[in-house]
Amino acid sequence: MNLNILWFILIAVIILGWSVMDGFDYGVGGLLRFISKNDDERRYVMNAIGPVWEGNQVWLILGGGAIFAAFPRVYASVFSGFYLAFMLVVWLIIFRAVSFEFRSRVESKSWRNFWDTDITVTGLGISLLLGVAIANILMGVPLNKDHIDYQSLFSLLNIFGLAGGLLSLSMFLMHGSTYLIMKTEGEIQKRARVFASRFAYAYIIFTILFLLLSLVFAQRLANNSFGIIGDIVPVIMIIGGIGVIVSAKSSSDIKPFAYSVLGIVGAVVSLAVGIFPDIVPSSINPEYSLNIYNSASNHLTLFVMLIATIIGLPLVLIYAFYAYKKFGLKVKMDESSY
C-alpha cells in the first residue's frame, strides 16, 4: 500500500483511539458538577477515570507527533491559523491535569469546589473547541499559495464551526455518561443512564444538523472520494446514538458504552472519508490545499516511522489493556482514592 495513504489511515486510527479513550475522560469531567450532588459523589465519579486519565493522554501525544513527522506542512499550516485556539485547548488540558493533582491536597470545601468546577469547565471547553476546529478544517481553511492561514480565533466561531463544536460536545458527554454506567453503581449509575439517553438524543440531533449544514458549508462531505459508501458512513453515527438510547434503559452496563464507541467510530470514519485525500483543504483555491502527497515527509521518513509505529503502538495497546484490567470494572474507593 502507498505509504502516504497508509499514514493517513494510521493517523485516523490514532484519532479514533484518542476519541474513545480520552473522550470519556473529557465527558466524565464535563459531567462532574452535574451528575454528583456532594463531595463524596464527586470523589466517586473522579475515581472512575482516576487510574487511567493520565495514560489516555498518550493518544493525544501520539497523534500530534505522528502528524508532525508524517505531514509536517499540515502541522505548520494548521498552527498558523489555529494557534490561539489550540493553545487555549492546551491550557485547558494543563489546568485539567492540575485539578486532578491539587483537588484533594487541602481539606477545604471551597478549595475542592474550585478544582471540581475547573474539571467541569475544562472538560466542556476541550470537547467544544476541538469540534469547532475540526468543523472549520472540513469547511476549508483560507490557505494561500504558501500554505499559510491568517484567520483569527473569532472567525472560527461561525455557524458550521459551532455546530461541529456542539456535535463533539454532545458526543463526549454521551460517551462519558456511558462510561459511568459501566464503572459505577447505585444513584450515580441511575443518573448516568438518564444523562446518556439525553446526550444521545442531542448527539443524533446535532449529527443531522451538521450533515444538513455541510451541504452548504462543506460540500466535500457529500462529494467525497468514496461515492455512495462515503455517503452512508454517517449512518453509523445515528445507529450508535440510537443504540445508546435503547441500551441505557436496559439493565446492561456495557452495551451503552459499546454503542457510544460505535457512534465515535462513525464520526471519525466520516471525517476521514469526507476529507480524503486532502488533510487541510483550502477555501481560497483547491490547488493550495494540503493533501496526503504535497504535505508528506519523504519516503524514507515515512518508512522508518512505520517501523517505529509497528513496534510502539502494540506496546501502547498492551499497556492500556493491562491498566483497564488491573483496575477492574467497577469503582472501588480506598485510601488512595481522590
Beta carbons of 314 and 27 less than 8 angstroms apart = no
The pTM (predicted TM-score) of the whole model is 0.91
Domain that holds residue 224: 3-326
Whether residue 334 is contained in a domain is answered as: no
Residue 261 domain flag: yes
User: Once rounded to an integer, what is the mean pLDDT over residues 25-47?
Assistant: 91
Tell me the pLDDT of the chain averaged across its residues: 87
- For residue 336, being part of any structural domain is answered with no
* Number of domains composing the chain: 1
**Where is average pLDDT lowest: 167-176, 181-190, 246-255, 307-316?**
307-316
Report if residue 335 sits inside a domain. Answer: no
Sign, Cα dihedral of 182, 236, 71, 315: positive
Instruction: Count CB-CB contacts under 10 A for residue 262.
Output: 17
d(CA 204, CA 215): 17
Do 240 and 263 contact (CB within 8 A), yes or no?
yes
Does the structure show a pLDDT above 90 at 27?
Answer: yes
pLDDT at residue number 188: 93
Please give the Cα distance from 237 to 175 (Å, whole number). Answer: 13
For residue range 167-202, what is the model confidence (pLDDT) as tens digits?
999 999 999 999 999 999 989 999 999 999 999 999
| Cα–Cα distance measured from residue 36 to residue 44, given in angstroms and rounded to the nearest whole number | 9
**Which among 22, 132, 136 is positioned nearest to 88, based on CA atoms?**
132
Q: What are phi and psi of 224, to 5 degrees?
A: -75, 170
DSSP state of 281: -
Task: Establish if 137 belongs to a structural domain.
Answer: yes
What average pLDDT score do residues 69-86 get? 83
DSSP state of 29: H
Residue 229 maps to a domain: yes
**What's the pLDDT at 16?**
92
Position 149 in a domain: yes
In this prediction, residue 220 carries a pLDDT of: 77
**Residue 337, pLDDT score:** 62
**All cell numbers assigned to 202:** 442531542
Burial degree of 136 (CB within 10 A; 0-12, 13-18, 19+): buried
Highest mean pLDDT out of 68-77, 240-249, 307-316: 240-249
Residue 331: inside a domain, yes or no? no
Q: Which has the higher per-residue pLDDT, 153 or 159?
A: 159
